[in-house]
């Protein structure tokens, strides 16, 4: 360990900034890797991380964290903990591993880009730790599910998912490529570390760790808590980057970057976390609804931060975002359950009589809207016709968020004037958008997004062969054994039904 | 005859569907093709005739897809009368 106190050498060794003489700035920091937004080099040198740590301290901390969390995993691997977990919770963590594990490695690419192309030495230092963090998160979140393989073969989707064209993976990959894999360093700091991590995942991981403990999944709780402590540190790269932009008259740039990525993140977050919180987590262990979580954690924190920095809430806050809290993830849940063969986990319907009462309490009017759709589904299950609850065609998909168009659900609950998607006809192509913000994100930078084909574009253009449900499932990498089924074999449909038997 | 996809929305359902139709289909057939994926599945089936709406207009049952000017990926709303 150093013989000097940290305060005596930290700033000196951290601030390794210098004036270039032998090369041009654009050669060292090409705009495509590090968009300066016109801010002069020296102005970036005021960048100052709120949380300071040295490399020896970092290594010491990380060794302790890994020792602890792998010890928990090693002990629990010899127990029957996983097989005794609630089926809905198992679905939540299988979905999580597939959607998050490999993207942690991808986030390492974004952190490494900031580690090389960040515009101040202090920032590059922090991002180097971030690169190591994300590598650790990728390793740990592929190692833990690997231990589940004897119990659950689909735990291999922790590694497999991002090597497939499964529709949810296409949506997540589109988001993550936009956010960090194919983003410049300055924009990554604001869109990944400030918007995505500070705004969403840091808080989500706290909530998930608490939920995991309540349902008895000590393994996952330990894992997520360990990751969250890293997130809380490296997420702080966004704040000083925003401060530099604002101090140099570029608040509008920061605002636009946040507006863009907050919306995209919200949609994927609703798909993953909305379903887990309101439908997959066992009723007796739910602390709050997804809407309450969003209001108490994400929204309050974000509004405070926007105002602290002198930014505004995104332009769509009242008109679209707050409106969607009441319906969007309920529509997505119906879609994921209805198209369950297209996902790698077993969706839990989560609509037993007691669960419906809870949903009605948390979302007044749920029974008269979404409940009616579930009534029709339930009737088919009870009548012994589960085949009528399985898909024979596909939903249309948004060309920005890559998520199925559930606009009719928003119309059903009176939040949208029309059930129809927004349409943009350009370049001989028809593109569909679920919402004004998705269309706005596309129109801000069409050349960035125009070449992408969503899963339905691929189906209609002949990429997916044969053009059938089976052909699409094969294209998505889902063998019959991997395709999702109802998590409880339809037990929810018969709950409280005297003399009924469970569907086969 | 030419098969092409439209976006179908059935009243009371939650999602926009991909539905293949033929340009010679009359609207009575188009309505059935959209309803097939929703009515009796996620929306309670009713013993009532169906109708197709396109760009805010109710289309005649006998009008063909070509007559109505419906093209690929246009949005058709279908529901009970």
Chain A residues with CB under 8 Å of B77 CB are 419-420
Average pLDDT over chain A, rounded to whole? 94
Tokens encoding A430: 């028809």
Closest by CA to A391, choosing from A326, A452, A459, A328, is A459
Closest residue in A to B3 (Cα–Cα): A460
Alpha-helical runs (H) found in A78-120:
87-117
Q: Work out how many domains chain B is built from and give that number.
A: 1
Q: Which of A370, A396, A430 sits opposite B17 (nearest CB)?
A: A396
| Beta carbons of B15 and A404 less than 8 Å apart | yes
The answer to whether the pTM exceeds 0.90 is yes
Percent of chain B surpassing pLDDT 70 = 100
pLDDT of residue A201: 86
Kindly report the CATH number assigned to the domain that includes residue B39. 3.10.20.270
B22: in domain:
yes
State residue A504's pLDDT score: 39
**What's residue B75's pLDDT?**
98
Per-residue pLDDT at A503: 44
Q: How many CB pairs under 8 A join A and B?
A: 87
* B35 within a domain of the structure (yes/no): yes
Neighbours of A235 (CB within 10 A): 24
In a domain, B27, yes or no: yes
Pick B18's closest partner by Cβ from A388, A408, A456: A456
Q: List pLDDT tens digits, range A103-133.
A: 999 999 999 999 999 999 999 999 999 999 9
> How far is the C-alpha of A202 from the C-alpha of A193, rounded, in Å?
10
For position A1, what pLDDT does the model report?
57
The minimum CA-CA distance between A456 and chain B, rounded to whole Å, is: 8
The residue of chain A nearest to residue B78, with distances taken between CA atoms, is A419
Question: Coil, helix or strand for A404?
Answer: strand
pLDDT score, position A308: 85
Domain of B12?
Answer: 3-53+63-80
Per-residue model confidence as pLDDT tens for chain A (504 residues): 557 888 888 888 888 899 999 999 999 999 999 999 999 999 999 999 988 899 999 999 999 999 999 999 999 988 889 999 999 999 999 999 999 999 999 999 999 999 999 999 999 999 999 999 999 999 999 999 999 999 999 999 999 999 999 999 999 999 999 999 999 999 999 999 999 998 888 888 888 888 899 999 999 999 999 999 998 898 899 999 999 999 999 999 999 999 999 999 999 999 999 999 999 999 999 989 999 999 988 898 888 888 888 899 999 999 999 999 999 999 999 999 999 999 999 999 999 999 999 999 999 999 999 999 999 999 999 999 999 999 999 999 999 999 999 999 999 999 999 999 999 999 999 999 999 999 999 999 999 999 999 999 999 999 999 999 999 999 999 999 999 999 999 999 999 887 655 443
Residue from the list B12, B16, B40 with its beta carbon closest to the beta carbon of A396:
B16
Residues of chain B neighbouring A407 (CB-CB closer than 8 A): 16
Identify whether B23 is part of a domain. Answer: yes
Helix, strand, coil % over all residues of chain A, rounded to 5: 65, 5, 35
Q: What SS3 class is residue B21?
A: strand
Q: How far apart are CA A224 and CA A227, in angstroms?
A: 5
ipTM: 0.98
Identify the CA nearest to A408 among candidates B22, B75, B81, B69: B75
Q: How many CB atoms lie within 10 A of CB A11?
A: 12
Helices (H) and strands (E) in chain B, counts: 2, 5
- List CB contacts (< 8 A) between B76 and chain A: none
Name which of A401, A408, A430 to mutate to probe chain B: the one with the most chain B Cβ atoms within 10 A of its Cβ.
A408
**For residue B37, which residues of chain A lie inside 8 Å, CB to CB?**
391-393
Assess if residue B58 is contained within a domain: no
Task: Report if residue B30 sits inside a domain.
Answer: yes
Please name which of A369, A337, A380, A361 lies closest in space to residue A487, comparing C-alpha atoms.
A337
Nearest to B42 among A377, A392, A460 (CB): A377
In a domain, B33, yes or no: yes
Cβ contacts of A379 on chain B, cutoff 8 Å: 44
Contact B73 A377 (CB under 8 A): no
Q: Inspect the interface and report whether the beta carbons of B15 and A334 lie closer than 8 Å.
A: yes
Q: What is the DSSP letter of B43?
A: B
> How close B53 gets to chain A, by Cα (Å)?
12
């Amino acid at each position: 360990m150093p013989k000097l106190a940290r305060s005596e050498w930290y700033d000196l060794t951290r601030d390794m900034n210098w004036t270039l003489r032998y090369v041009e700035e654009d050669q060292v920091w090409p705009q495509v890797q590090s968009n300066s937004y016109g801010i002069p080099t020296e102005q970036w040198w005021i960048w100052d991380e709120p949380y300071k740590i040295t490399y020896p301290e970092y290594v010491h901390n990380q060794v302790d964290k890994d020792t602890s969390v792998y010890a928990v995993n090693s002990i629990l691997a010899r127990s029957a903990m996983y097989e005794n977990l609630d089926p809905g919770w198992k679905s939540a963590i299988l979905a999580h591993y597939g959607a998050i594990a490999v993207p942690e490695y991808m986030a390492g690419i974004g952190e490494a880009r900031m580690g090389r192309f960040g515009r101040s030495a202090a920032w590059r230092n922090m991002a180097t730790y971030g690169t190591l963090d994300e590598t650790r998160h990728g390793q740990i979140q592929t190692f833990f599910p690997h231990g589940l393989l004897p119990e659950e073969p689909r735990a291999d989707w922790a590694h497999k998912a991002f090597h497939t064209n499964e529709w949810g993976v296409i949506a997540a990959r589109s988001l993550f490529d936009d956010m960090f894999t194919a983003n410049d360093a300055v924009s990554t700091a604001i869109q990944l570390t400030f918007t995505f991590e500070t705004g969403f995942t840091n808080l989500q991981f706290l909530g998930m760790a608490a939920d995991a403990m309540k349902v008895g999944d000590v393994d996952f709780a330990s894992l997520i808590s360990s990751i969250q402590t890293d997130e809380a540190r490296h997420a702080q790269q966004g704040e000083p980057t925003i401060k530099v932009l604002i101090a140099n008259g570029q608040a509008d740039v920061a605002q636009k970057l946040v507006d863009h990525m907050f919306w995209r993140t919200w949609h994927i977050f609703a798909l993953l976390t909305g379903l887990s919180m309101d439908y997959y987590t066992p009723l007796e262990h739910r602390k709050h609804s997804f809407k309450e979580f969003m209001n108490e954690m994400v929204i309050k924190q974000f509004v405070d931060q926007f105002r602290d920095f002198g930014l505004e809430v995104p332009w769509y806050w009242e008109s679209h975002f707050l409106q969607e809290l009441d319906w969007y993830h309920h529509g997505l849940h119906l879609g994921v359950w209805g198209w369950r063969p297209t996902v790698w986990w077993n969706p839990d319907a989560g609509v037993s009589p007691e669960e419906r009462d809870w949903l009605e309490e948390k979302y007044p009017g749920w029974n008269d809207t979404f409940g009616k759709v579930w009534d029709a589904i339930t009737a088919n299950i009870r009548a012994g016709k589960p085949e009528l609850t399985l898909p024979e065609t596909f939903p249309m998909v948004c060309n920005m968020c890559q998520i199925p168009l559930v606009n009719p659900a928003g119309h059903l609950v009176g939040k949208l004037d029309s059930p129809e998607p927004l349409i943009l006809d350009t370049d001989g192509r028809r593109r569909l958008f679920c919402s004004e913000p998705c269309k706005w994100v596309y129109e801000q930078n069409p050349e960035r997004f125009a070449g992408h084909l969503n899963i339905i574009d691929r189906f209609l253009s002949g990429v997916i062969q044969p053009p059938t449900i089976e052909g699409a499932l094969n294209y998505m990498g889902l063998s019959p054994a991997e395709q999702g089924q109802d998590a409880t074999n339809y037990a929810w449909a018969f709950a409280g039904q005297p003399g009924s038997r469970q569907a086969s | 005859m030419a098969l092409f996809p439209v976006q179908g929305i059935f009243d009371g359902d939650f999602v926009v569907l991909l539905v293949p139709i033929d340009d010679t289909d009359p609207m009575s057939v188009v309505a059935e093709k959209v309803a097939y994926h929703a009515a009796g599945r996620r929306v309670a089936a009713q013993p009532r005739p169906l109708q197709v709406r396109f760009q805010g207009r109710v289309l005649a049952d006998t009008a063909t897809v070509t007559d109505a000017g419906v093209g690929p990926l246009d949005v058709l709303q279908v529901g009970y009368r």
